Homo-oligomer: A and B are copies of this chain.
Amino acid sequence: MNKNVVVAQSGGPSPVINSSLRGVVETCLEMPDRFGTVYAGYHGIEGVLREELLDISAQSREEIALLSVTPAAGAIGTCRYKLKPDQAEDFDRVIEVFRAHNVGYFFYNGGNDSMDTAHKVAQLAAERGLDLVAVGVPKTIDNDVGDSEFKLIDHTPGYGSVARLWALMVQGAEEENRGSSPADPVLVLQAMGRRIGYIPAAARLADPERQMPLLIVLAESGIEMPELADRVNDMVKKRGRAVVVVSEGLELGDLGETRDSFGHVQFSASRTTVASMVVNYLNDHGLPVQGSARSNVPGTHQRHDIAYASTVDLAEAYAVGQKAALLAAEGESGYMATILREPGDIYSVRYDKVPLEQVANSERTFPAEWITEDRTDVTDDFLRYARPLIGEGWPSIPMVDGLQRFTRFEPLFAEQKLIKYVPQGLR
């Protein structure tokens, strides 16, 4: 009897996370000689711990296909719960659940932390004599998976779509700011990405020729509030107005931080936002023209907007999920499926594998040489890197009665065979 499959997601979702899920699922379903039933850990590893396994094989193929145009993690859920090394009971429970449901394949979709978890689960399974193939699937809008040299992965699925949203959203913001100045001369836009600058950097894609009065302030810029205000006011003096993109992780003072269970600051739950701090400072200290500064904080919209998704990103997200399934079919355990860019002027990628352990022990930062000397812009090298990722046109989103038609899975779960379990970190 073929071994069954568990696929699970972790952390903040992306507009294309379900495209990777679809890639994994459809590829497994195409190989019935290799893979048994495909289950999803409902709400990530928490669902595995609770033995809540959504039966994906029992869902209609149409709903599975719709995953590609369904943003965020509503289809199978995600979680912020982390399997910590000292929580041995949790690891034991995962093995127990996998054994009970004859699971031989585990796909874990997430960032560096999740690759670490997948790696540890694979190790433990081997120690316990459980024949388990564990494969990672990369994901994050922040583009902070892998290493800074892009050797482990060129970019993560999800980034191309949020980059496209920023490129096109800033085009609109420029129309607004140009049209509404001098009454509303300063528009501040706050980008996600914690303390890593790939998302705010993507604003430059809106204006590769640098014609807009656009300032881009990454968390990595190290700019403090008075200097930032000077830059903005200089731009307003010169151009009459300014569009200012700031990273949510810019350190301008005490935001009143809230942390998630990974220990990461949850900027969207902070008491105040970077955008508010910038706007209040500018308004308090006076703009060089009449009018006031205002701000937008798109927040989670960056993770769940499918209309602006990049067609390149959607296709790659699918393909890397498919690659993960193909690796699993070959028995290649302990790897993350990855996207590597081919050399040459024409953008192309190949799908490959990198050891989970290497990803787990890596950290990616935004290349310092991609920040301009004045620290309020990014370089053309960044544009050359990011431009292909946003593609050319719009994705096609199916509509029913004026609304988007998203995947709706039936609540068909695997029969529970074990005693109830509360994850260690939630007791």
Residues of A within 8 A of B (CB): 9, 12-13, 43, 70-81, 164, 167-169, 171-180, 182-184, 187, 205-206, 256, 258, 260-261, 266, 268-269, 271-273, 276, 279-280, 283, 290, 292-301, 303-308, 387, 390-394, 397, 399, 401-404, 406, 426
Residue pair B180, A78 in contact (C-beta under 8 Å)? yes
Q: Could you say which of B70, B169, B179, B258 contacts A73, with CB atoms under 8 Å apart?
A: B179
CA distance A175 to B293 in the complex (A): 32
- Complex CA distance for A184 and B300, rounded to whole angstroms: 11
Task: Give Cα A386 to B276, complex, Å.
Answer: 33
Q: List 14 A-B contacts (CB under 8 A).
A: A12-B180, A72-B180, A73-B175, A73-B179, A77-B179, A78-B179, A78-B180, A171-B404, A184-B266, A266-B294, A268-B296, A272-B276, A296-B298, A297-B298
Decide: A300 near B266, CB < 8 A? Known: A171-B403, A403-B168.
Answer: no
A268 to B168, CA, bound (A): 21
Choose one: B80, B256, B307; the contact of A307 (CB below 8 Å): B307
**Contacts A74-B174, A173-B301, A184-B266 supplied; 15 other A-B pairs, CB < 8 Å:** A13-B176, A72-B175, A72-B179, A73-B176, A168-B307, A169-B305, A172-B301, A172-B304, A175-B304, A176-B303, A183-B260, A276-B276, A296-B300, A307-B307, A392-B401
Q: In this complex, what residue of B is CB-closest to A167? A: B403
Q: Please indicate the chain B residues that have their CB under 8 angstroms from the CB of A393 in the complex.
A: 399
Oligomeric state, in copies: 2
Residues of chain B within 8 A of A81, CB atoms compared: 183
B403 near A387 with CB under 8 A, answer: no
Q: A206-B403, A403-B206 are in contact. Are A269 and B292 (CB under 8 A)?
A: yes
Which residues of B sit under 8 angstroms from A206, Cβ to Cβ?
Answer: 403
A295: B residues at CB distance < 8 A: 268, 297, 299
Contact present for A271 and B260 (CB under 8 Å) = no
A299 in contact with B299 (CB, 8 Å)? no
In angstroms, Cα B8 to Cα A350, docked, is 53
Q: How far is the CA of A335 from the CA of B209 in the complex (A)?
A: 44
A81 to B183, CA, bound (A): 8
Cβ contact of A172, chosen from B71, B171, B258, cutoff 8 A: B71
Of the residues B71, B179, B256, B394, contact of A399 by C-beta under 8 Å: B394
| Known interface pairs A273-B276, A426-B290; A180-B73 also in contact (CB < 8 Å) | yes
Chain B nearest CB from A113 CB (Å) reads 14
The 8 Å CB contact of A169, one of B167, B301, B394, is: B301
Knowing A297-B296, A403-B206, A406-B171 touch, does A178 contact B74 (C-beta < 8 A)?
yes
Q: Please, how many angstroms separate the alpha-carbon atoms of A368 and B306 in the complex?
A: 34
A56, chain B: closest CB distance, angstroms: 15
A77 touches B387 (CB 8 A): no
Contacts A206-B403, A402-B392 given: A70-B175 contact, CB under 8 Å? yes
C-alpha spacing A290/B81, complex, angstroms: 11
In the assembled complex, the Cα of A401 lies from the Cα of B70 at a distance in Å of: 26
Cross-chain contact of A176 among B266, B269, B304 (Cβ < 8 A): B304
Residues of chain B lying within 8 A (CB to CB) of residue A266 = 184, 292, 294
- Asked if A294 and B299 sit within 8 Å, CB to CB, the answer is yes
Nearest first, the 9 closest Cβ-Cβ pairs linking A and B are A73-B179, A296-B299, A74-B175, A172-B304, A268-B294, A80-B183, A72-B175, A269-B292, A74-B178
